[in-house]
Amino acid sequence: AQKVTQAQTEISVVEKEDVTLDCVYETRDTTYYLFWYKQPPSGELVFLIRRNSFDEQNEISGRYSWNFQKSTSSFNFTITASQVVDSAVYFCALSETLSAGNNRKLIWGLGTSLAVNP
């Protein structure tokens, strides 16, 4: 069965601190995709990154970076020099391949609520 675990329910940091959000996944698929989404208080889910199972390169986008390690089934997300605007719930998700056509269902973690305090 596919599963995504975000063990950190809530994290609170002070502005400018670095913070890492953990994500561990389980899947039997050899081809899969991992995602991070940000959900600010307004409620909209904002797509941050997609990573496929064949690409273990780490990625950096501004203050955001992602560390994908298949050996430990982890896809961790680090925010460097956090800012108050980073305060949100962050969801990690795994894309499941369905048997019908090309439809893919997302398996979601429970989310990590990040509070960045001034």
Applying CB under 8 A, the residues found at the interface with other proteins are 33, 35, 37, 42-47, 50, 52, 91, 95, 100-106, 108-111, 113
Integer Cα distance of 68 and 61 in angstroms: 14
How far apart (Å, rounded) are the C-alpha atoms in residues 97 and 65? 26
Distance in Å, CB of 44 to other proteins, minimum:
4
- Smallest gap from Cβ 99 to other proteins, in A, equals 11
Closer by beta carbon to other proteins, 70 or else 105: 105
CB contact set of 54 (below 8 Å; sequence gap of 6+) = 31
Nearest-approach distance from CB 72 to other proteins, in angstroms: 22
Among residues 11 and 106, whose Cβ is nearest to other proteins?
A: 106
Q: How many helices (H) and strands (E) would you count in the chain?
A: 0, 12
